[in-house]
């Protein structure tokens, strides 16, 4: 009850102090402002919120997904397929033993021109994939689109477009809580 009385008294005091200026009277009062002693700055750790997880689009085996700018991706039980504007088809297997689906990982393939670069790859080894993020040499981040087959939640495909670059960006796989699961370092060509 006391805290409510103190709060009410504070509101009344503020209203009384503001009332003279509200009707055009002088706002001078005999009350002097109270200043608290300056607190010394304390270095506190900064905690940034994790980026929101990317929605994973579920597609049927063989379903063609328009990845933009003339690129198409599709998944089969064997792996990732993609084709560029030239129509040439590419494939990355998830069953040939070249990736370890028991541990989180991410792969990266890219192709491009002076107009921009198409990046894609596999994410695998986790049922908690949240997002794949590319980071270029200047620190610009691009969040990839995620695609997976129904019932195959331990692997999927990611893709993204970036501007033209002579370098390969770093690629990172995060879980839904924002924890880094796997990454590939940036490369200069």
Pairing of strands 145-148, 56-58: parallel
Give which of 44, 51, 55, 79 is closest to 180, Cα–Cα.
51
CATH code at position 98: 2.60.40
d(CA 158, CA 141): 15
What range does the domain containing 167 cover? 56-188
- Is 37 part of a structural domain of the chain? no
Helix, strand or coil, per DSSP, at residue 7 = helix
- Is 104 part of a structural domain of the chain? yes
Helix, strand or coil, per DSSP, at residue 161 = strand
pTM of the predicted structure, to 2 decimals: 0.72
- Is 51 part of a structural domain of the chain? no
Judge whether 133 and 144 are in contact, CB under 8 Å. Answer: yes
Which neighbouring-strand residues pair with 162? Answer: 117
Contacts of 72 (CB under 8 A, 6+ apart): 64, 65, 66, 82, 83
DSSP tag of 155:
E
> Exposed/middle/buried for 6, CB within 10 Å: 0-12, 13-18, 19+?
exposed
Q: What is the pLDDT of residues 39-98, one digit of tens each?
A: 444 333 333 445 777 899 999 999 999 999 999 999 999 999 999 999 999 999 999 999
Lowest mean pLDDT among 14-18, 78-82, 141-145: 14-18
Q: Say how many domains are in the chain.
A: 1
Backbone angles phi, psi at 2, to 5 degrees: -60, -40
- Is 20 part of a structural domain of the chain? no
- Is 173 part of a structural domain of the chain? yes
- Is 93 part of a structural domain of the chain? yes
Give which of 173, 140, 179 is closest to 157, Cα–Cα.
173
Mean predicted confidence (pLDDT) in 103-107? 97
């Amino acid at each position: 009850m006391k805290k409510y009385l103190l709060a009410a008294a504070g509101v009344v005091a503020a209203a009384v102090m503001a009332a003279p200026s509200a009707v055009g009277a002088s706002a001078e009062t005999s009350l002097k402002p109270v200043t608290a002693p300056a607190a010394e700055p304390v270095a506190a750790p900064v905690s940034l919120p994790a980026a929101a997880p990317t929605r994973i689009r579920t597609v049927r085996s063989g379903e063609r997904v328009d990845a933009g700018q003339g690129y198409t991706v599709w998944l089969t039980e064997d792996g990732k397929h993609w084709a560029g504007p030239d129509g040439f088809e590419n494939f990355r297997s998830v069953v040939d033993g070249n990736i370890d689906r028991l541990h989180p990982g991410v792969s990266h393939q890219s192709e491009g021109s002076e107009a921009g670069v198409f990046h894609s790859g596999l994410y695998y080894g986790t049922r908690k994939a949240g997002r794949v993020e590319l980071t270029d040499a200047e620190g610009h981040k691009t969040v990839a689109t995620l695609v997976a087959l129904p019932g195959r939640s331990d692997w999927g495909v990611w893709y993204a477009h970036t501007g033209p670059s002579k370098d390969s960006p770093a690629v990172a796989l995060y879980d839904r809580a924002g924890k880094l699961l796997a990454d590939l370092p940036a490369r200069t060509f």
